[in-house]
């Protein structure tokens, strides 16, 4: 089975005999793995206590996972029976990525230990074992043959390097029985939840950075291996089950978090993601660049705060929550129509600038309705503080409740409430997107003139998208007011330090993938989690954010989650007029295995 590896479709990046390269990778990964069971340093001053010999802890676990995955995928490339399913797409490029990721995590850990404790003398032999093992694995992995041929234009070392990390797409999978496919989806969401919860749970910066490195490389590797696309194919096939599984995973999340602050991060990510999804109706579907979207969140939040029974509210009434939600959503809807009606006659850049202006007008107005420079409604820059906690039929959201043996605190309660709203917005996004109205929105986005010539009343439909987006943001705002205890004008600016603001919302949509359902949620999770976890970069947040956006636009302009187009490309492979993608030697091996 291993013989056919010599007929590689692409050249190796480093000139090492393939057999030696493969042995080196396996050996290196094994050594790195073994090293994680030894002590890496002598003092537990470095967080995570890496002094124990016998079982890995803290950052060592990440090296362990990286090395184990490297081993698994290398063995899969060897043609070991039962592992072939791991690499239906590329075989060697995922190994390379994983080896590099392991080296990255290990190297980062060693560097962090040396930096924190003052010098490399603080490294124990175990650290060197893992470090050298990871290095050997990474270097020899670069000697494995490429998964795709080198095109003539790639001449510089960097281009050859990038090419060696690329892989052809996986051929379509054989259909499994549906229960197996569903089980795979459920397992994938289980793993996803675990990884996400692990990331939120990291309680020191070094571990979070290590986590990011490992996850980043591992995810790319699985993508190259073709597993991500296989999974995507399954989730597209069983969409309702996928949604249900996602919902269950999301419901499980607060049960994994015992710390109040981490549950709060979860609740805030949900708010952020929900608003981003609402914005995706406007930007992603209808193609209207709205730079003042956060104002609608603000309208909803202020409306809810005013009728929440807060002692500082100028109105001083206390609506039941359902009525407050309707008030918030209704107020946002009205504002959406009022702002949309004059501005939506503009196109493109003009629309963006005018919405930016209206967003700021909202903030300034709220700032000035303080009794001095205007009627007293919002307490100006002070905002409306002490918004009381919600209480549903005696279930006080402010208190800790014990459910099934798990303690759910205040943030967890609001997280679960917000999840209901997120589910509603997901449903609205999906159903509206897949209807006559949604198609009309996309048509307007693609070519407004042609859309009107097809009988679409562009202005009306754009207004509808704008109003719907505003309403969804208003819905989220009503919960946000309660989660934050207080609403202030500064929460609703164009660009601020705390994520749900217009710039970050737009970034979440673009980063995640415009027009997709999961994209904005993924984007929001990343954009909230990373700054929340890496407190030290708070001062440079906008700067780093800018750099990240530039890099993203350069490397992956369509966002992390690509929309239907990608799946369509798969689909088109089935059709006779599109040439078959060249089979890599590994898929041939896979077929042989299946036949064996």
Partner 1 sequence: MTTMTTTTKTATTVLDANGVTMRFGGLTAVRNVDLTVNAGEIVGLIGPNGAGKTTFFNCLTGLYVPTEGKVSYKGTVLPPKPHLVTQAGIARTFQNIRLFANMTVLENVLVGRHTRTKEGLWSALLRLPGFTRAEQASRERAMELLEFIGLADKADHLARNLPYGDQRKLEIARALASDPGLLLLDEPTAGMNPQETRVTEELIFAIRDQGIAVLVIEHDMRFIFNLCDRVACLVQGEKLVEGSPDIVQSDERVVAAYLGTPFEGAPGAEEAAEVEAAEADAAKDAAQTATTSTEEEDTR
Establish if 438 lies at the interface with partner 1 (CB under 8 A).
yes
Establish if 443 lies at the interface with partner 1 (CB under 8 A).
yes
**Neighbour tally for 152: CB within 10 Å:** 6
**Neighbour tally for 403: CB within 10 Å:** 12
Among 368, 432, 486, 573, contact with partner 1 (rule: CB under 8 A): 432
- Helices 502-512/260-280 angle, 10° precision: 80
Establish if 551 lies at the interface with partner 1 (CB under 8 A).
no
Phi then psi dihedrals of residue 12, to 5 deg: -75, 155
Establish if 158 lies at the interface with partner 1 (CB under 8 A).
no
Residue 226 vs 254, nearer CB to partner 1: 226
Among 440, 475, 517, 525, contact with partner 1 (rule: CB under 8 A): 440
CA 515 – CA 563 distance, rounded (Å): 7
Establish if 428 lies at the interface with partner 1 (CB under 8 A).
yes
Residue 58 vs 512, nearer CB to partner 1: 512
For tokens 């239906």, the residue is 88
Establish if 431 lies at the interface with partner 1 (CB under 8 A).
yes
Among 552, 558, 560, 585, contact with partner 1 (rule: CB under 8 A): 558
Among candidate residues 183, 178, 184, 186, the one with its CA nearest the CA of residue 245? 186
Among candidate residues 263, 255, 299, 294, the one with its CA nearest the CA of residue 278? 294
**Neighbour tally for 45: CB within 10 Å:** 12
Per-residue DSSP letter, 402? E
Establish if 88 lies at the interface with partner 1 (CB under 8 A).
no
Among 240, 436, 536, 595, contact with partner 1 (rule: CB under 8 A): 436
Whether the Cβ atoms of residue 94 and residue 221 lie closer than 8 Å to each other? yes
Phi then psi dihedrals of residue 488, to 5 deg: -130, 155
**What's the chain's Rg over C-alpha atoms?**
26
Among 15, 455, 579, 595, contact with partner 1 (rule: CB under 8 A): 455
| Residue 244 C-beta: closest distance to partner 1, Å | 17
Pair of tokens at residue 359: 């967003």
Among candidate residues 391, 418, 395, the one with its CA nearest the CA of residue 309? 391
Pair of tokens at residue 396: 């006080």
Phi then psi dihedrals of residue 528, to 5 deg: -85, -45
Per-residue DSSP letter, 41? B
Site string for partner 1, 562-591 (x = CB under 8 A): x--xx-xx-xx--x----------------
Among 371, 375, 447, 543, contact with partner 1 (rule: CB under 8 A): 447
Establish if 58 lies at the interface with partner 1 (CB under 8 A).
no
Residue 401 vs 571, nearer CB to partner 1: 571
Query: Among the candidate windows 68-76, 294-302, 357-365, 556-564, which touches partner 1 by CB under 8 A?
Result: 556-564
Site string for partner 1, 97-136 (x = CB under 8 A): ----------------------------------------
Residue 400 vs 556, nearer CB to partner 1: 556
Residue 4 vs 435, nearer CB to partner 1: 435
CA 506 – CA 529 distance, rounded (Å): 16
Counting DSSP H helices and E strands in the chain, the numbers are 22, 4
CA 517 – CA 508 distance, rounded (Å): 12
Query: Among the candidate windows 46-54, 68-76, 258-266, 552-560, which touches partner 1 by CB under 8 A?
Result: 552-560
Number of residues engaging partner 1 in binding (CB under 8 A): 45
Whether the Cβ atoms of residue 15 and residue 5 lie closer than 8 Å to each other? no
CA 127 – CA 109 distance, rounded (Å): 9
Establish if 145 lies at the interface with partner 1 (CB under 8 A).
no
| Residue 329 C-beta: closest distance to partner 1, Å | 14
Establish if 146 lies at the interface with partner 1 (CB under 8 A).
no
Site string for partner 1, 174-213 (x = CB under 8 A): ----------------------------------------
For tokens 């295995």, the residue is 593
Residue 65 vs 464, nearer CB to partner 1: 464
C-alpha 290, offset from chain centre: 22
Query: Among the candidate windows 133-141, 314-322, 534-542, 557-565, which touches partner 1 by CB under 8 A?
Result: 557-565
Among 458, 479, 481, 508, contact with partner 1 (rule: CB under 8 A): 458
Residue 152's contacts (CB-CB under 8 Å, 6 or more residues apart) are none
Binding residues vs partner 1 (CB under 8 A): 148, 166-169, 223, 427-428, 431-432, 434-440, 442-443, 446-447, 449-458, 464, 468, 555-558, 562, 565-566, 568-569, 571-572, 575
């Amino acid at each position: 089975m291993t013989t056919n590896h010599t007929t590689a479709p692409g050249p190796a990046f480093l000139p090492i005999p393939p057999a030696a390269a493969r042995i080196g990778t396996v050996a290196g990964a094994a050594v790195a793995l073994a090293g994680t069971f030894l002590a890496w340093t002598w003092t537990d001053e470095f967080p995570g206590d890496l002094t124990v010999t016998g079982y890995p802890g803290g950052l060592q676990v990440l090296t362990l996972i990286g090395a184990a995955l490297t081993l698994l995928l290398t063995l899969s490339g060897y043609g070991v029976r039962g592992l072939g399913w791991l690499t239906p797409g590329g075989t060697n490029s995922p190994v390379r990525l994983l080896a590099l990721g392991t080296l990255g995590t290990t190297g980062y850990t060693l560097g962090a230990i040396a930096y924190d404790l003052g010098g490399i003398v603080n490294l124990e032999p175990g650290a060197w074992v893992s470090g050298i093992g990871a290095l050997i694995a990474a270097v020899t992995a670069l000697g494995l043959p490429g998964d795709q041929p080198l095109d003539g234009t790639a001449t510089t070392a960097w281009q050859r390097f990038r090419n060696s990390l690329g892989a052809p797409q996986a051929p379509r999978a054989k259909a499994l029985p549906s229960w197996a496919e569903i089980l795979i989806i459920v397992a994938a969401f289980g793993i996803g939840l675990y990884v996400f919860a692990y990331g939120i749970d990291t309680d020191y910066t070094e571990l979070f950075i290590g986590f990011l490195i490992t996850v980043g490389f591992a995810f790319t590797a699985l993508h190259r291996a073709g597993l991500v696309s296989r999974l995507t194919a399954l989730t597209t096939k069983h969409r309702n089950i996928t949604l249900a599984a996602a919902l269950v995973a999301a419901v499980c999340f607060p049960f994994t978090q015992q710390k109040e602050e981490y549950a709060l991060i979860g609740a805030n990510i949900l708010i952020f993601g929900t608003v981003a999804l609402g914005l995706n109706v406007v930007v992603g579907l209808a193609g209207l660049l709205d730079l003042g979207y956060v104002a609608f969140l603000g309208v909803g939040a202020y409306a809810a705060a005013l009728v929440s029974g807060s002692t500082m509210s100028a109105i001083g009434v206390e609506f039941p929550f359902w009525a407050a939600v309707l008030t918030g959503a209704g107020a946002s809807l009205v504002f959406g129509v009022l702002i949309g009606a004059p501005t939506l006659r503009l196109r493109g850049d003009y629309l963006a600038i005018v919405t930016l202006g209206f967003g700021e007008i909202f903030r300034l107005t709220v700032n000035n309705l303080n009794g001095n420079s205007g009627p007293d409604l919002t307490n100006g820059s002070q905002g409306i503080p002490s918004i009381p906690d919600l209480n549903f039929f005696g279930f006080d959201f402010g208190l800790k409740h014990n459910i099934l043996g798990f303690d759910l605190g205040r943030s967890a309660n609001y997280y679960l409430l917000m999840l209901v709203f997120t589910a509603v917005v997901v449903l609205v996004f999906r159903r509206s997107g897949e209807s006559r109205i949604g198609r009309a929105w996309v048509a307007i986005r693609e070519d407004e003139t042609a859309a009107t010539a097809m009988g679409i009343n562009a202005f009306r439909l754009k207004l509808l998208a704008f109003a719907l987006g505003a309403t969804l943001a208003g819905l989220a705002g009503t919960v946000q007011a309660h989660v934050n205890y207080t609403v202030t004008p500064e929460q609703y600016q164009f660009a601020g330090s705390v994520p749900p603001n217009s710039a970050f919302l737009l970034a979440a949509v673009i980063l995640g993938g415009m027009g997709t359902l999961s994209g904005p949620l993924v984007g929001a999770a990343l954009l909230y989690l990373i700054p929340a976890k890496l407190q030290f970069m708070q001062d440079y947040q906008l700067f780093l954010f800018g750099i990240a956006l530039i890099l993203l636009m350069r490397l992956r302009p369509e966002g992390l989650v690509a929309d239907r187009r990608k799946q369509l490309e798969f689909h088109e492979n089935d059709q006779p007029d599109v040439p078959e993608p060249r089979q890599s030697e590994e898929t041939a091996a896979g077929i042989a295995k299946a036949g064996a």
